[in-house]
Amino acid sequence: MHIFKFMNKQNRLFSYSRIRRYLSTQVQVDERPLHVPVMVHEVIKYLKPQNKQTIIDMTFGAGGHTQSILDENYDVTIIALDRDQVSHERAIEMAESYPNKIIPLLGKFSELPDLLRSKKIYQNTIDGILFDFGCSSMQFDTANRGFSVSKDGPLDMRMDGDRFPDSFTARDILARGTEDDLGRIFKIYGEEKNYKKIARAIIESRYLFRNLNTTKELCELVDSICEDEVRFDMLNRPAHNATKIFQALRIFVNDELNEINQGMHIASQYLKIGGRLITIAFHSLEDTIVKRHITGHITGNVANALPLKYCDYSMVYQKEFAETFIHKCWHSLTKHVIVPSDGEVKDNPRSRSARLRAAVKIK
Ligand SMILES: C[S@@+](CC[C@H](N)C(=O)[O-])C[C@H]1O[C@@H](n2cnc3c(N)ncnc32)[C@H](O)[C@@H]1O
């Protein structure tokens, strides 16, 4: 079998035979990079790695950010977490190429404290934490995983379905959810304006025809509802009508927003004072949770779900008084979100919606 090889900046060759073997059972793998990391320059600028530090890459993916940090020749240890078995395999493989530099861990943000305990790594000991939320290109590009509107495959969408084979898939939700449930999922997690009509059509198709089984069937059904619409993405390119529905299902299937809440809380526990947090979000739901943690608008470790006008400020007249009960353990390093340069968006259109925030733990 042909062995896919990838050359990094230092002309080091990696053999991706193991990961390729896995992927080749599911997709036709070509010679493109597995995933192009976004805003690498900005990540390194704000993370400011120093020798002897320990950094957690909470979303290892294809290892693009981890590799960029190590290729800058920092003598750091990177704990490489991912919930996806394919990414974990890649982390193990990359760890062989960077001896004693990478500690691969398989699990979700919410499982991290147990994983760290098993490695005798405790709270307040980490120098930097990076989150690059969402899906990797490896997940999107693998038809069998059901993440993509443009690739026909089973409606799965689980990031860790092989670890939790009994967990529900996107197909299960579409087959079992009530019209109300589906409408709420599409409205809240997809911000889809036609949420009612699409939920209705799914229920009707269930009773009149059969359950939706594939990404193509779901796309066709959504297209039939939004027949007269032409949608565009942030680069003004035509976007598929079902993109938001796919986003909503993926977030729900993987419990992504709860995971981000827990991840942010865990970051505040495990970073040292002075430790740096970098987040890259791809839609407003992710970014709002991050922003509320950084600004201290959280209740019981969970970002307030309500618009802030309904939260503490509206209950009192004085902003100073309200601020005495805001739980703030971060100092933000970025006044506003940082977005990718035009050049980066041109080279890597998937970076177009990336929003980076950076903060330092202060208490
Ligand atoms: C955008 S990709 C990261 C790409 C990576 N930074 C790179 O440069 O290759 C996001 C990754 O986060 C993982 N992920 C998403 N939610 C997670 C969670 N709650 N816990 C652990 N990993 C998660 C996904 O499986 C995916 O591999």
Torsion of CA 343, 349, 352, 358, to 10 degrees: -70
Asked if residue 107 and residue 9 are part of one domain, the reply reads yes
| Digit-coded pLDDT (tens) for 231-279 | 777 666 677 889 999 999 999 999 999 999 999 999 999 999 999 999 9
Tokens for 249, please give them.
Answer: 């299902």
Asked if residue 343 and residue 275 are part of one domain, the reply reads yes
Residue 268 lies in a domain: yes
CB 270 within 8 A of CB 116: yes
Q: What are phi and psi of 187, to 5 degrees?
A: -75, -50
DSSP strands (E only) in 188-339 = 231-232, 238-239, 271-281, 298-299, 302-303, 330-332
Domain endpoint, select from 253, 287, 321: 253
Asked if residue 77 and residue 118 are part of one domain, the reply reads yes
Q: What is the pLDDT of residue 18?
A: 40
Q: What is the pLDDT of residue 155?
A: 98
Asked if residue 346 and residue 310 are part of one domain, the reply reads yes
Residue 141's pLDDT band (boundaries 50, 70, 90)? very high
Asked if residue 190 and residue 63 are part of one domain, the reply reads no
Asked if residue 102 and residue 242 are part of one domain, the reply reads no
Residue 204 has pLDDT above 80, yes or no: yes
Residue 52: DSSP 8-state: T
- Measured in angstroms, how far is the CA atom of residue 5 from the centroid of ligand 1? 22
Residue nearest to atom 24 of ligand 1 (CA): 135
Residue nearest to atom 12 of ligand 1 (CA): 59
Using alpha carbons, select from 361, 138, 170 the residue that is nearest to residue 252.
170
Residue nearest to atom 20 of ligand 1 (CA): 108
| Digit-coded pLDDT (tens) for 212-238 | 999 999 999 999 988 777 777 766 667
CATH number assigned to the domain comprising residue 293 = 3.40.50.150
Domain endpoint, select from 253, 280, 305: 253
Residue nearest to atom 7 of ligand 1 (CA): 64
Domain endpoint, select from 253, 284, 300: 253
Q: What is the pLDDT of residue 296?
A: 87
**Quick check: CB of 62 below 6 Å from ligand 1?**
yes
Residue 57 has pLDDT above 60, yes or no: yes
Q: How many domains does the chain have?
A: 2
CB 78 within 8 A of CB 102: yes
Residue 26's pLDDT band (boundaries 50, 70, 90)? very low
What is the rounded average pLDDT for all residues in the chain?
86
Residue 144 lies in a domain: no
**Quick check: CB of 141 below 6 Å from ligand 1?**
no
Determine the atom of ligand 1 nearest the C-alpha atom of 280. 1
Of the chain, the percentage scoring pLDDT greater than 70 comes to: 83
Residue 315 has pLDDT above 90, yes or no: no
Give SS3 for 356.
strand
**Choice from 36, 83, 112, 252 to test ligand 1 binding pocket (greatest atom count within 8 A of CB):** 83
Mean pLDDT over residues 44-62, rounded?
Answer: 97
Asked if residue 269 and residue 245 are part of one domain, the reply reads no
Residue 127 lies in a domain: yes
Domain residue limits at 282: 5-23+35-84+93-138+256-361
Residue 30 lies in a domain: no
237 CB burial (10 A radius; 0-12, 13-18, 19+): exposed
Residue 155 lies in a domain: no
Residue 23's pLDDT band (boundaries 50, 70, 90)? very low
**Choice from 23, 57, 59, 260 to test ligand 1 binding pocket (greatest atom count within 8 A of CB):** 59
The CA distances from residue 95 to 90, 99, 114, in Å, are 8, 6, 21
Comparing 45-54, 241-250, 256-265, 314-323, the range with the smallest average pLDDT is 314-323
Residue 8's pLDDT band (boundaries 50, 70, 90)? very low
Say which residue, 320 or 130, is predicted with more confidence.
130
Q: Note if the pTM is more than 0.85.
A: yes
